[in-house]
Amino acid sequence: MYPKDVSSTTPVWAEEFSVHASEDAYVQRRQFTKFLMLTSFGMVAGNGWIWLKALTAKERSAWPQVVIGRASEIQPGTVRFFSYPEETDPCILVRRTNGEFTAFSQKCTHLSCAVYYAAERDRLECPCHEGYFSAANGQVLQGPPPRPLPQVTLEQRGDDLVAVGVTTKDSEHSWRGPDRAFRSGEGAA
């Protein structure tokens, strides 16, 4: 050990500590560059992971067929809530006042608020930002939603209403489903 100088007023730890308090507030160029490089690498790695997940995602080859209710149990102007195609996908089955059955995702395409059916106006309404959708086809009637509601394809088998697929309308006005795709006005492909 070295002999300790008792006459010095500076503590031992301060002599051995390499950063002075006055210089502690400054970030060195090397530290800043290191931070930028690590952050940039993290962003590239995250985007790469998302890209790989998108490449390896499997297309749904067939939608499940799920009985969602009996036609005789649903009165005109009323709704039934169900989940399709997964338990985490809330949907709404609407029997319009004219007796027609339609079904849509219950998540608004703006910020995923739950939509509800307003029978007196024959439309689906989102209370969060006053978005309105047609009960006939899910088209946006008013408000901030950027696209129509995904529509659940229904088949009536006797008295049973069966969900057999989901179609969404993209910005190019084409309907896409698992086994069909056609452009509006052109008919089925």
Distance CA 171, CA 9 (A): 75
Angstrom distance (rounded) from CA 122 to CA 92: 14
CA angle centred on 84, ends 143 and 94, rounded to 5°: 55
**pLDDT-based confidence at residue 10 (cuts at 50, 70, 90):** confident
DSSP structure string for 101-165: EEEEESB-TTT-PBPEEETTTTEEEETTTTEEEETTT--EEESS-SSPPPEEEEEEETTEEEEEE
The model carries a pTM of 0.62
pLDDT band at 26 (very low <50, low <70, confident <90, very high): low
Whether the pLDDT of residue 166 is over 70: the answer is: yes
- Out of 18-27, 31-40, 114-123, pick the least confident: 18-27
Could you tell me the CA-to-CA distances from 99 to 34, 43, 160 in Å, in that order? 66, 52, 15
pLDDT band at residue 185 under the 50/70/90 scheme: very low
Closest among 57, 76, 55, 84 to 154, alpha carbons compared: 84
pLDDT band at residue 168 under the 50/70/90 scheme: confident
